[in-house]
Amino acid sequence: MSDGSGATRPPRERRASRSRRTIELLLDTFIRPGHWAAKLAYPLGLQGRVRSSITEIRLAGRPKGAAPLRLAFASDFHAGGTTDSRLLTDACELLASFKPDVLLLGGDFVSVRASYIDQLAPEIGAIPAPLGKYAVLGNHDLRADYGRIVRRLEQVGVEMLTNRHVSLPPPFDDITVCGLDDPTQGWPDAGAALDGVSGTRIVLMHSPEGLRVLAGRRFDLALCGHTHGGQIAAPWGQAILLPSGPLNRQYSRGWFELDGGVSRTILVSRGVGCSTVPVRLFAAPEVHLCLIV
C-alpha cells in the first residue's frame, strides 16, 4: 500500500488494540440511538459553545509586501454519538463566516464509525474556500473505515494531504501546505511531506506528537489538534486528562514558539467535538482564523 510518497507501507489503519476497539464500539452502541447522550448534554451547556479565535501571524520567510492570507483551521469534529449535531453546525457556520481563502482540517472527523462522516461532510462542503480545502486524518478516522471517510470528504471538495504537499496559487505561491500522516495510527513521512519545499512551509498534522517526526526540519507554522485541551479541565484551564505522549502533554493547547535556532510556531487547537464521553468542561470548542502576513 502506498502512503502517498511512493513508498510501500503496511495498511495504515487499526494499530489500536482489539480490546480498545471493542470497548469503543460497545460504548457507541449504547449512546448511538438518537444520539441521546449528546442531545442531553448540549442544552445543559456540557459540550460548551464554539468559540472563534482570530490571530494575526507574521511569518519571517514571506516576501516583503506579500498579500495577507486568510487561513481557517479546525480539528477534531468527532461526528457521532458523543457530539451534538448543533455543535458541528455552529463550527462550520463560524468557519464560513471567516470568509477564508483556504481551509485546513486536522483530522478526527468521526468517532468510532466511518458512517458518521455522512452527517458532517455536507456542512464542510458548504464552507467557501476559493483556494482549496485540505485535510489529514486523525487516529479515530484511521481506526474506522478511513477509505469511506476520504471518499466522502473528496466528494465535497476536500483534498487529502497524507505525506504530501501542495503550493497555493498566486498571489500566495510563496506558501506551501505540507500534510503529515497521524503518528499513532498512521505512517508519517516527513521527507515526503516537506523535503524539496522552498518558501513558507505550513504543516498540517493531527497531533503535537508529529513534532517528533518533523525532528529538525524547518517549518514556519504547524497546525494540529488531538489533545482537546484535555476536554475536561480545571476551571483555570489546566487539562486533567490528555492523550498519551510527552508532546501532547507539553503542548496541550494554544500557541507555542519552538526553540531550535529557527522561527517555528505551532497552534494546538482544542478542537470542536467530544471523544469517548459527551462532555466538555472548561475546554471550550474552538475554530481558528489565521491571518498570515
Instruction: Look up the CATH number of the domain holding residue 63.
Output: 3.60.21.10
Amino acid at 27: L
* Domain count along the chain: 1
Looking at residue 13, its amino acid is: E
Q: In the chain, where does DSSP find H-type helix?
A: 18-31, 36-41, 85-97, 117-125, 139-143, 146-155, 190-194, 210-214, 246-250
Helix axes of 117-125 and 146-155: crossing angle, nearest 10 degrees:
30
Instruction: Tell whether 264 is covered by a domain.
Output: yes
- pLDDT, tens digit, for every residue of 9-44? 444 544 557 777 787 888 888 888 889 999 999 999
- Residue 216 burial class via C-beta count within 10 angstroms: exposed 0-12, middle 13-18, buried 19 and up: exposed
Q: Give the closest residue to 72 by CA, choosing from 257, 273, 272.
A: 272
Bond prior to 235 in cis (omega within 30° of 0)? no
Largest interatomic CA distance in the chain: 56
Report the distance separating Cα 73 and Cα 224, nearest Å. 9
**How many other C-beta atoms lie within 10 A of the C-beta of residue 282?**
17
Is residue 11 assigned to a domain? Answer: no
Instruction: Flag whether 172 is in a domain.
Output: yes
Model pTM above 0.85: yes
| Residue pair 139/184 in contact by the 8 Å Cβ criterion | yes
User: For residue 223, is it within any domain?
Assistant: yes
- Beta bridge partner(s), residue 71: 102, 290
Regions of the chain where pLDDT drops below 70? 1-16, 260-263
Confidence at residue 139, expressed as pLDDT on a 0 to 100 scale: 95
Rounded Cα gap, residues 272 and 105, in angstroms: 11
Please check whether residue 222 lies inside any domain of the structure.
Answer: yes
User: Would 251 be classed as within a structural domain?
Assistant: yes
Residues with Cβ within 8 Å of 274's Cβ and at least 6 positions away in sequence, in order, are: 38, 41, 47, 78, 82, 83, 228, 231, 280
Separation of alpha carbons 253 and 248, rounded Å: 9
Question: Does residue 2 lie in a domain region?
Answer: no
- pLDDT given at position 261: 53
Reduced to 3 states (helix: H, G, I; strand: E, B; else coil), residue 43 is coil
Q: Is residue 6 part of a domain?
A: no
Asked if 45 and 280 count as a contact pair (C-beta separation under 8 A), the reply is no
Cell of 38: 449528546
Q: What distances in angstroms separate CA 266 from CA 57, 140, 225, 259, one per listed residue?
A: 11, 22, 10, 11
What are 167's strand-pairing partners? 176
Segments forming the whole domain that contains residue 205: 18-292
Query: What's residue 5's pLDDT?
Result: 34
